[in-house]
Amino acid sequence: MSFASLYPRVTATRRIQSMNGSWDFQFDPDSRGAEEGWANGLPNPTDMPVPASFADVFTDKYSREYTGDFWYVTELFVPGEWRDGSVDIRFDSATHAATVFVNGTEVARHEGGFLPFVAHINDAVRWNDYNTVAVRLNNELSWQTLPVGETHTLPDGTRMSAPYFDFYNYSGLQRNVSLLYTPNERIEDLDVVHRIDAGPDFNGVFADAHVDYRVVTSGNHDVEVVVLDECGIEVARANGKEGTLDIANAHLWNLRAAYLYRFVVRIKDGDDVIDEYFDEIGIRTVEVRDCRILVNGREVYLKGFGRHEDSNIHGRGFDPVVNKRDYEDMKWIGANSFRTSHYPYAEEQLYEADRDGFFVIDEAPTVGMFKSTMNFLGASGAVSDEKPKTFFDEESVQTETLAVHRRTLEEMVARDKRHASVCAWSLLNEPDTTSEAAVAYFENIFDLVAEIDTQKRPKTYASIMMAPAGVDKTHHVADFIMLNRYHGWYVNGGYAIAKGLIDMKAELEKWHELEPDKPVMFSEYGADTMAGVHKLPSVMWSEEYQVEVFKMWSEIFDSYDWIVGEQPWNLNDFQTTEGIMRVDGNKKGLFTRDRQPKMAAFYLRDRWTAIPDYK
Residues marked active site are found at 430, 524
Min separation Cβ 560 and ligand GCB, Å = 22
Min separation Cβ 460 and ligand GCB, Å = 14
- By CB under 6 A, the residues from 126 to 165 that bind ligand GCB are 165
Number of residues that this document lists for the chain: 615
Min separation Cβ 253 and ligand GCB, Å = 29
The two beta strands, 520-524 and 481-484, are parallel
Min separation Cβ 429 and ligand GCB, Å = 5
Q: Given the complex with ligand GCB, which of 95 and 429 has the nearer CB atom?
A: 429
3-class secondary structure, 581? coil
Determine contact, residues 63/113, Cβ cutoff 8 Å: no
Min separation Cβ 578 and ligand GCB, Å = 14
Q: Given the complex with ligand GCB, which of 277 and 376 has the nearer CB atom?
A: 376
Query: Measured between alpha carbons, how far is 423 from 214 in angstroms, rounded to an integer?
Result: 20
CB atoms < 10 A from the CB of 344, how many? 26
Establish if 573 lies at the interface with ligand GCB (CB under 6 A): no
Establish if 430 lies at the interface with ligand GCB (CB under 6 A): yes
Enclosing H/E stretch for 603: helix 599-609
- How many Cα atoms are found within 13 Å in the side-chain-facing hemisphere of 259? 17
Residue 189 to residues 6, 283, 424, Cα–Cα distance (Å): 7, 18, 21
List, in sequence order, every beta strand (DSSP E) within 83-186.
86-91, 97-102, 105-111, 117-120, 129-138, 149-153, 159-163, 177-182
Q: Given the complex with ligand GCB, which of 65 and 528 has the nearer CB atom?
A: 528
Establish if 484 lies at the interface with ligand GCB (CB under 6 A): yes
Q: Which residues are registered as beta bridge partners of 97?
A: 111, 138
Establish if 310 lies at the interface with ligand GCB (CB under 6 A): no
Query: Measured between alpha carbons, how far is 71 from 139 in angstroms, rounded to an integer?
Result: 11
Establish if 529 lies at the interface with ligand GCB (CB under 6 A): no
Establish if 569 lies at the interface with ligand GCB (CB under 6 A): yes
Establish if 429 lies at the interface with ligand GCB (CB under 6 A): yes
The 8-class DSSP code of residue 138 comes to: E
Q: Given the complex with ligand GCB, which of 33 and 493 has the nearer CB atom?
A: 493
Q: Using CB atoms, what's the residue nearest to ligand GCB? A: 166
Amino acid in position 590: L
Query: Measured between alpha carbons, how far is 42 from 70 in angstroms, rounded to an integer?
Result: 11
Min separation Cβ 101 and ligand GCB, Å = 35
CB atoms < 10 A from the CB of 233, how many? 8
Q: Given the complex with ligand GCB, which of 102 and 302 has the nearer CB atom?
A: 302
CB atoms < 10 A from the CB of 506, how many? 11
- Among 68, 176, 586, 590, the residue binding ligand GCB under the rule CB under 6 A is 586
The 8-class DSSP code of residue 344 comes to: P
Determine contact, residues 556/615, Cβ cutoff 8 Å: no
Query: Measured between alpha carbons, how far is 263 from 546 in angstroms, rounded to an integer?
Result: 45
Establish if 363 lies at the interface with ligand GCB (CB under 6 A): no
Q: Given the complex with ligand GCB, which of 483 and 563 has the nearer CB atom?
A: 483
Min separation Cβ 250 and ligand GCB, Å = 38
Min separation Cβ 106 and ligand GCB, Å = 35
Q: Given the complex with ligand GCB, which of 110 and 405 has the nearer CB atom?
A: 405
Residue 588 CB contacts under 8 Å (≥ 6 apart), including other chains: 489, 526, 527, 528, 529, 568, 569, 570, 573
Angle of helix 347-356 relative to helix 320-333, nearest 10 degrees, comes to 30
- Among 417, 588, 593, 607, the residue binding ligand GCB under the rule CB under 6 A is 588
x/- string (CB under 6 A) for ligand GCB, residues 325-344?
Answer: -----------------x--
Q: Given the complex with ligand GCB, which of 166 and 354 has the nearer CB atom?
A: 166
Q: Given the complex with ligand GCB, which of 91 and 167 has the nearer CB atom?
A: 167
Determine contact, residues 568/557, Cβ cutoff 8 Å: no
Burial label, 320 (beta-carbon count in 10 A; 0-12, 13-18, 19+): exposed
- Among 92, 166, 319, 326, the residue binding ligand GCB under the rule CB under 6 A is 166
Q: Given the complex with ligand GCB, which of 278 and 569 has the nearer CB atom?
A: 569
The two beta strands, 337-339 and 302-306, are parallel
Angle of helix 599-609 relative to helix 543-557, nearest 10 degrees, comes to 20
Query: Measured between alpha carbons, how far is 334 from 479 in angstroms, rounded to an integer?
Result: 26
Min separation Cβ 576 and ligand GCB, Å = 7
- Nearest CA to 362 out of 294, 434, 411 is that of 411
Establish if 524 lies at the interface with ligand GCB (CB under 6 A): yes
Query: Measured between alpha carbons, how far is 444 from 405 in angstroms, rounded to an integer?
Result: 10
Min separation Cβ 547 and ligand GCB, Å = 18
Min separation Cβ 587 and ligand GCB, Å = 9
Q: In the chain, what is the greatest distance between 2 CA atoms, to the nearest angstrom?
A: 77
Query: Measured between alpha carbons, how far is 245 from 337 in angstroms, rounded to an integer?
Result: 29
Q: Given the complex with ligand GCB, which of 5 and 311 has the nearer CB atom?
A: 311
Establish if 587 lies at the interface with ligand GCB (CB under 6 A): no
Determine contact, residues 610/556, Cβ cutoff 8 Å: no
Determine contact, residues 268/275, Cβ cutoff 8 Å: no
Residue 399 to residues 53, 337, 405, Cα–Cα distance (Å): 31, 34, 10
Establish if 548 lies at the interface with ligand GCB (CB under 6 A): no
Min separation Cβ 144 and ligand GCB, Å = 20
The two beta strands, 187-197 and 563-566, are unpaired
Q: Given the complex with ligand GCB, which of 285 and 575 has the nearer CB atom?
A: 575
The 8-class DSSP code of residue 572 comes to: B
Q: How many residues touch ligand GCB (CB under 6 A)?
A: 10
- Contact residues toward ligand GCB (CB under 6 A) are 165-166, 342, 429-430, 484, 524, 569, 586, 588
